[in-house]
Chain A
Amino acid sequence: MPFVLGMSGGATALIAAAAAVLASCLSWIVALKITQRRKRSRIYDTSLRLGLEQPEDDGGDNIDLLMMAIERSVRAMRTESVEAAAVNSRLQEAMDSLPQAVLVFDDSASVVGHNTAAEAFIAARHSDALIGAAVAELVADALVGQSSARTLELFGPPRRTVVVTTNPLESGSGSGAVAIIEDITERRRLEAVRTDFVANISHELKTPVGAISLLAETLLAEDDPAVAERLANRILSEAIRVGHTIEDLLELSQIEVDEPVEFGIVDIGDLAAEAADRIRPAAEQAGITIQVAGSSTALSVRGDRRQLLSAISNLLDNAVKYSDQGSTVDVFATAENSEVLVAIVDRGIGIPVRDIERVFERFYRVDQARSRQTGGTGLGLAIVRHVAVNHRGTVDIESRLGEGSRFTLRFPALESNDPDASEPGVFEPGAFEPDQSSDLQPERLS
């Protein structure tokens, strides 16, 4: 009995176990069905969101078709997004090539896009921080739909004039704004050059002519020979003055002509000594010593002898004019790396910082009153700069008020084994004039 009982107990357990397995299998199958249904409905939802055609849910083949359609759609979207990224980077590249700084802001006034030029104004310091502050202020206006612009004069250095413009952006999600920062310093400077030139040239030409006609009128009615002589002398000096101005203007326009000049080989040390000799009598009269320090080697450059001499003479002339009695003007001619340079150093009145950039303009005067006394035409430095540019050279100034100025002319040096020394059109040995050929064996400076 115990066995039977045992048997029946075992069978019951077996049955119970089988039932449990069956139940769990059933529930598993049901769960699987439910999961599958859910998955299917998610796939249908996705296809609906992707805007694909909706086949009927038959629980079988249609699902596969739908899956394929979804895959196609995803592939297309991926291509599209790659294309969109390409367009975006193209746009960014185009923005980066703009000279103006462009910053795009979202509705909370944070920067969401900018070009390379704008990098200077993000987390900026010094003057740029002030531009950044102005942008922040104007962007606040733009976010409430107001376009605005502001011009900032910054003392730097360097001195700059900057215009900040902001506009609201309405397309896309939420409001936004764009800020454009433009440096108009150069434009302003050119405008000033133009207006000043017109004013100055009329002044330089009209003043002596007006004086001449007035003096002549007085002379007509004058009987006293002593007074008449004085008037005639004044007329003469005014005529000489206007004559100088016209001569310089002609020289300048000649230098400016684009026609290629036949360049020869010129020794700069030689020229510096010659220019110094020319001006020495006038300098000594004013009590100013000129010292020339030459180089022991030839300082040959390719150039136009007359133009180069005129440039060096003009600089020397200025140095003497603006020096005090008893001071010294030094002329250095040396070779440095692949350049030949002439420096004219005076200990005169110097040039104010704000005028240094402008002294090369025609007729620009640092001090109108003084320049009438010294009697220059106001064109000397303009000539110097043009000569330098014509010879692929540069001219720069170091100056300090009350301490003096240093003008340095630099030209590319002619190397002894210069391969393009015989290049046609640039340098033609046949074009030598007799006095230029002597420059090939230049005299040494004393």
Chain B
Amino acid sequence: MAEQRKSFHSELDEIRDEIVQLGALVSEFIPRGTEVLLTNDMKGALALIEADDQLDALTLRIEEQCYNVLALQQPMASDLRSIVTAVWLTGELERSGDLMVNVAKAARRIYGATLDPKLKGLIERMSEEASRLVKLSLDAYVERNASLGAAIDDIDDALDAIHGDYIEAIFESHATHDLGLQAAVQLALVGRYYERIGDHAVNIGQRVQYMVTGWLPEQTGAARLKARASFELPADLDPPGGDADAT
């Protein structure tokens, strides 16, 4: 039995290490994709798009490992939460990687367009911020640091603010410089990709909170709904969901 538990825990460690590796790949993708975009590097764009396959393969491997552990070991309590969190994290990280692939594809679409220095500077800023968020969320995961996980939502505000400035700069650049409409739209999407990576990092932070404390932010809302359903429904016999519509 002891032998079996040991192998089970080493399996959990292995999954954690692979998540760290997946996260490292994603946080490498961010500066890499940004450089592709800022230097019009088409060779780099292709390499990045191809490197995404590596990310996908690792994601699949981790997921399968998680399912195996779930099926064969039937973990409970915090072990179960660790596995469920790992499955969630693979999704969030894989999606973040895909967003950087989208940046590389956008770089191809706007090939030849000249970006003014202000736009480039803001892209660099968003990229640094997004990469920092991903790294912080992974730190929270490895250290099982629920408070850091919870803080990422607020840390993400900086990225959102830069994103706002960036959109304004696109309008300005479109009006006063030679930024064509098509390139402007692509660049706006690029901004959105970075901003989304930040959101994925926030999700990771929340999942880490769940892993450590067993509590999801959504549970507060779910508990409210349940409370309303049990106290108010029998009284005025509202149809289910009617109460939610009213609030």
Contacts and interface: CB of A to CB of B under 8 A. Distances in A.
B117 A155 contact: no
Interface in B59-95: none
Contact of B138 (A126, A130, A403): A126
B118 A403 contact: yes
Contacts of A353: 124
Contact of B35 (A123, A155, A400, A402): A155
B139 A401 contact: no
A367 to B, nearest CB: 10
Nearest to B118: A402
A401 B118 contact: yes
A403 B117 CA distance: 8
B125 interface: yes
A157 B31 contact: yes
Contacts of B39: 354
Nearest to A403: B121
A98 B122 CA distance: 41
A157 B35 CA distance: 12
In the complex, which of the residues B118, B121, B124, B142 has the most CB atoms of chain A within 10 Å of its own CB atom? B121
In the complex, which of the residues B30, B31, B117, B169 has the most CB atoms of chain A within 10 Å of its own CB atom? B117
Interface string A142-183: 000000000000111101000000000000000000000000
B35 A401 contact: no
A10 B125 CA distance: 111
B120 A402 contact: yes
B118 A130 contact: no
B21 A129 contact: yes
B64 to A, nearest CB: 18
B24 A401 contact: no
A353 B39 CA distance: 12
Given A125-B142, A126-B135, A157-B31, A350 B21 contact: no
Nearest to B122: A402
A99 interface: no
Nearest to B116: A402
A127 interface: yes
A130 B124 contact: no
Interface size class of B (residues with CB under 8 A): 20 to 34
A402 B169 CA distance: 10
A133 interface: yes
Contacts of B139: 125
Contact of B25 (A130, A157, A400): A130
B144 interface: no
Interface string B79-119: 00000000000000000000000000000000000001111
B27 interface: yes
Interface string A334-374: 00000000000000011011100000000000000000000
A354 B121 contact: no
Nearest to A154: B28
A402 B117 contact: yes
Interface string A401-416: 1110000000000000
B27 A126 contact: yes
B24 A127 contact: yes
A127 B28 CA distance: 7
Contacts of B21: 129-130, 132-133
Contacts of A402: 116-122, 169
Contacts of A401: 117-118, 120-121, 124
Contacts of B119: 402
| Interface SS of chain A | loop
A126 B116 contact: no
B82 to A, nearest CB: 17
Interface string A101-131: 0000000000000000000000111111110
B184 interface: no
Contacts of B142: 125
Given A156-B31, A157-B31, A125 B121 contact: no
A400 to B, nearest CB: 5
Contacts of B24: 125-130, 133
Contacts of A125: 20, 23-24, 135, 138-139, 142
A123 B14 CA distance: 11
In the complex, which of the residues A126, A127, A159 has the most CB atoms of chain B within 10 Å of its own CB atom? A126
Contacts of B25: 130
A127 B31 CA distance: 12
B104 to A, nearest CB: 13
B38 interface: yes
A400 B32 contact: no
A354 B139 CA distance: 26
A164 to B, nearest CB: 15
A155 B28 contact: yes
25 contacts: A125-B24, A125-B138, A126-B27, A127-B24, A127-B27, A129-B23, A130-B21, A130-B25, A130-B28, A155-B30, A155-B31, A156-B28, A156-B31, A157-B31, A157-B128, A350-B121, A352-B38, A353-B124, A354-B35, A400-B124, A402-B116, A402-B117, A402-B120, A402-B122, A403-B121
Given A129-B24, A350-B121, A402-B122, 12 more contacts: A125-B23, A125-B135, A125-B138, A126-B138, A127-B24, A130-B21, A130-B24, A130-B25, A154-B28, A352-B120, A400-B124, A403-B121
Interface of B: 17, 20-21, 23-25, 27-28, 30-32, 35, 38-39, 116-122, 124-125, 128, 131, 135, 138-139, 142, 169
Interface of A: 123-130, 132-133, 154-157, 159, 349-350, 352-354, 400-403
7 closest residue pairs by CB, A with B: A402-B118, A401-B121, A402-B121, A402-B117, A155-B31, A129-B24, A401-B120
